Structures are given as C-alpha cells and as structure tokens.
Amino acid sequence: MSCSSCKPSLPGPALVNEGDEHPEFPSSSTNPCKLCTPLGACLAFKGIAGTVPLLHGSQGCATYIRRYMISHFREPVDIASSNFSEDSAVFGGRKNLHTALENVTRQYKPAMVGVATTCLSETMGENMPMLLGEYRAEATQEGQPALVHVSTPSFKGTHAEGFHAAVRAIVETLAAPRSTLERLAPIALMPGMVSPADLRHLRDLVSWWGVPATFVPDYSETLDGGSWSNYERMPSGGTSLDEIRALGSARATIECGLVLAGEKSTAGTHLAAKFGVRLHRLGLPIGLRQTDLFCGAMEEAANAVIPERVERERGRLIDAYVDAHKYLSGRKAIVYGEEDLVASLAVFLAEIGVWPVLCAAGGRSGRLESAILGAAPELKGRIEVREGSDFGEIETQIAELKPDLLIGSSKGYKLARSLGLPLVRCGFPVHDRIGSQRIQMLGYTGTLQLFDCIVNALLEKKQEDSEIGYSYL
Ligand code: SF4
C-alpha cells in the first residue's frame, strides 16, 4: 500500500487537481508534517508495563515504524505484526491475527498486547472486536494478556491522533470503578506525545506536590533506559495495568494538548463521564503561561500550594527571558509538526517576543488556529495557520514570510539547509542528532532548555554570518 508516511519524500512537482480551491497549495502532499497513525499507537503502548504492540497488517508497516522509533529513541523496539500476505488481503486476516497473538503470548508472556490496525486492514474493514472476541473465546494458553485494540487508519489520521486514540483505548479498556476511594488516590496524567526526558521531569515536578500520579503512558524508561548486562525481551518500566485499573478512583485528570482539549472523546473525558473524575484540559506546559496553568491544576488537584522549589524554577525562567529579550524581540519563526506541539510552541514563542509567522501542522482537526489564539490572543491577525500541511507548502511561503529560524522535527532539515536558516530540533522524529529522547521542553526547567537552544541558534547564525566574527555578543 502506498502511503505518505512510509514514502515521506516525493520527488518532483506535486500534482495540482483541476478545481482546487487553492491551486497554489496542491492537494497532494510533498513530505507531510505528520507520520503514520499506528506509529503513535505503538509509542503509547510502549509506555505500558509488559506490553507488546502488534500491528494487524503487513510486515512492512511494522518495519517502517520500528525503524523510525529506533532511530529516534536509540533503543530496541519490538513491534509484532500479523504479517498479511496476498491471501489475507483477499480472504481476511483472522488466522494471521490469531497466530500472531498466540506467538506473542508464548514468546513474550506479556501483560498486555496493544493491537493497532494498518491502512490495509482498515481498508479491508476487518471487524476487530469480533476477531479479538473469537480469539479470547478460543485461546487455550495459560496466562492470556489483556488485549487493547485501537483503530488507526493512517489514510485519515496522524501519528498524534493514533497516540491519543491508543491512550483512550487503554483507559477505556482497563480503568475500573472502586468500591471505596483509595486513601491516596492518584492524579491521572495524560502528558501527550513528549520525550522520555520530559516525562521524567514531569514526574519529578508532580511528585513535589506529594501526591501520587499515574502517567498514561510512561515510556520514560522503556524508550530511554540504561545499558543491560543481559538482553531484556521487554524493557522494564512503564505504567502497570493495576495503576491504570485504579484510575476509576483518580482524584483528577490532567490532560495536555491545546488541540486535544477540543476533542469530545478522550481518555480524560472517559474518566469524567464514567467515574466522575474532574478533568483539567491544558496545553503542553511549555513556557511560563502554560506551565503556570499546569501548576494551577496541580495545586487544585493535590489541594496543596505550589512547592517552593517550583517557584524557584519559575524565577530562573523569568530571569532568562529578561537576559535574552534583546536577542529575540521581533524575530520570526516557522513552527511545524503535530498540532498540539505546534500550538503550544506558538504560545510560548509569543511570550518570548518571537513571532510564529507560520504554524503548520499535519493534522486536520479544524481547531489549530482557535487553540493558538485562545491561549495567545495577541497573535490574532498576525500569524498564518495551516492544517494538513507539508514541506512543499511551507517552502512556497518562506520567501514571503522571511523567517529567522525553523522549529520542529528533523524532517525540516533539507529546507533549513537550502535556505541557510537555523533549525531548532524538537518533537518527533529527530533522526539526525543524538539525544532526541532527552530533548526537554516541559515545565519551567524544560522550557529553559528550549529557550537556550532558540537564543543560541539565533546567536550562532548572527555570528557565522558576520564578516568580523564577533566573539562577544
Ligand atoms: S499503516 Fe499505512 S501509513 Fe503506516 S506504514 Fe503502513 S501503509 Fe504506511
């Protein structure tokens, strides 16, 4: 099956269909600002302890996703596949799925198998609830894992949508009511698609309030662990199934994502509707405003004031803003990637004086612009927001917008290089640098890291462009 994700760079001119509303922006994609939907689901499944992701479809999809994740996280990533052949594409993949589940159960002894569909099985219209129900009824092996299924048709979704859909499926399948409230009920935290280092930092930050928190998912160890003396078939770490089951009695949910906040059906809305868990919907805590809101939600959920060390981190960030404002004021940036990241980065850039002239995302939620302007009203009328965007479209606008830098994944490198612009790498994927799993953006401290990268990228450019070569800037 041909897809824009597994064939990211299309050489030659993009096609323009007759009657296109915007003929200058072709209806086909040239290197889109999004990736394959089941990739996001696999990432979410990697954050659940003892879980094996399984793709119902062709082996090539699993290979492509593994390659993308391994090159970003630099860790082994096992993804099983039901390995469709021509026969399965014609007669259905029931037998393949059941064989795959038996093999995975025997070889890995997993606590859970996360089953995601590929473009092929989605196009065929495989009845996954029925196939999985039949497997459960017929399975004879001891120790059957929990099965969580998520529908991830990549021809109409993005990696971020696959990620959020998998988080929702995990919580919907596992979270259970409790007869009595836990003595120390956890906060349910849905951090969004962030780096392992950001997950670790968020976990520390939340722990300073003195209440437990259950992250769904938490791949901070499974995708960024230490070296092993002996090979581990399933890396340790991740949120346990019992922790997720206990979320029926969570004290509150904090769900991160400015665009996600407009979605009717999420893990957070499920906990709210089914168990009455209070839902806080916020942007990714990048920058002062958005981290302040996160801390405000924590204050309310934990019923405790902001810890002093958090206040100190906040102070350091403000100090950095003051130190560097003269280098940033009036600079222009193009931000691209998945919608929630683009939205939160735009809000952050606005507060440090950088103008996000173009905000381009691969998703098509219809909410990106309102999400940005709702959180940063000062940007109204001053930015271009593009959904379903690709690098071909970004390139056509660059000459007019004259940005000073690009911010996003390594997929923007060719463009940045051809224009001689600095690229600040963040998000997924970053395939041309070491340390992608340790890129930090969240909280006051993570923002400080990102802030330094942005300022230094601009200073480096200024220095390199200068004939004099100033060493004191
Ligand atoms: S699921 Fe679809 S987009 Fe993803 S690798 Fe397979 S064919 Fe490509």
Can you give the pTM of this predicted structure?
Answer: 0.94
Q: Is 151 a pocket residue for ligand 1 (Cβ < 6 Å)?
A: no
What is the whole-number distance in angstroms between the Cα of residue 36 and the centre of ligand 1?
A: 6
Determine the pLDDT at residue 8.
45
Determine the pLDDT at residue 469.
82
Q: Is 61 a pocket residue for ligand 1 (Cβ < 6 Å)?
A: yes
**For residue 92, is pLDDT > 90?**
yes
Segment (H or E) for 469: none
**For residue 149, is pLDDT > 80?**
yes
**For residue 59, is pLDDT > 90?**
yes
**pLDDT range class, residue 470, cuts 50, 70, 90:** confident
**For residue 10, is pLDDT > 60?**
no
Atom of ligand 1 nearest to the CA of 37: 4
Number of neighbours of residue 200 by Cβ within 10 angstroms: 16
**By the 8 A CB rule, do 285 and 442 touch?**
yes
**For residue 61, is pLDDT > 60?**
yes
Distance CA 183, CA 167 (A): 25
- Which of the listed residues 2, 4, 5 should we mutate to test ligand 1's pocket, taking the one with most ligand atoms within 8 A of CB? 5
- Which of the listed residues 64, 120, 126, 151 should we mutate to test ligand 1's pocket, taking the one with most ligand atoms within 8 A of CB? 64
Section 362-387 average pLDDT: 97
What is the whole-number distance in angstroms between the Cα of residue 15 and the centre of ligand 1?
A: 21
CA 108 to chain centre: 26
Number of neighbours of residue 42 by Cβ within 10 angstroms: 30
Q: Is 162 a pocket residue for ligand 1 (Cβ < 6 Å)?
A: no
pLDDT tens, residue by residue, 184-196: 789 999 999 999 9
pLDDT tens, residue by residue, 131-143: 999 999 999 888 8
Section 52-71 average pLDDT: 97
What is the whole-number distance in angstroms between the Cα of residue 38 and the centre of ligand 1?
A: 8
Q: Which of 201, 221, 226 is nearest to 213 (CA)?
A: 201
Q: Which of 68-82, 117-131, 197-211, 221-235 has the lowest mean pLDDT?
A: 221-235
Q: Is 38 a pocket residue for ligand 1 (Cβ < 6 Å)?
A: yes
Distance CA 214, CA 386 (A): 34
Distance CA 248, CA 253 (A): 11
Distance CA 122, CA 251 (A): 37
Atom of ligand 1 nearest to the CA of 64: 5
**For residue 104, is pLDDT > 70?**
yes
Pick 435 or 180 by higher pLDDT. 435
Q: Is 119 a pocket residue for ligand 1 (Cβ < 6 Å)?
A: yes
Distance in Å from the first CA to the final CA of the chain: 53
Reported as half-sphere exposure (CB side, CA atoms, 13 A), residue 378 has a value of: 11
Determine the pLDDT at residue 14.
41
- Which of the listed residues 2, 4, 6, 123 should we mutate to test ligand 1's pocket, taking the one with most ligand atoms within 8 A of CB? 6
**By the 8 A CB rule, do 47 and 222 touch?**
yes
Determine the pLDDT at residue 142.
84
pLDDT tens, residue by residue, 276-318: 999 999 999 999 999 999 999 999 999 999 999 999 999 999 9
Q: Which of 13-27, 104-118, 160-174 has the lowest mean pLDDT?
A: 13-27
**By the 8 A CB rule, do 354 and 296 touch?**
no
Closest CA to ligand 1's atom 6: 61
Closest CA to ligand 1's atom 5: 61
pLDDT tens, residue by residue, 327-358: 999 999 999 999 999 999 999 999 999 999 99
Closest CA to ligand 1's atom 4: 36
Token couple for 415:
């463009």
In the numeric block, the tokens 């007869």 are attached to 179
Q: Calculate what percentage of the chain has a pLDDT beyond 90.
A: 86
Please name each of the domains of the chain with its CATH number. Answer: 37-174 (3.40.50.1980), 187-226+235-309 (3.40.50.1980), 325-465 (3.40.50.1980)
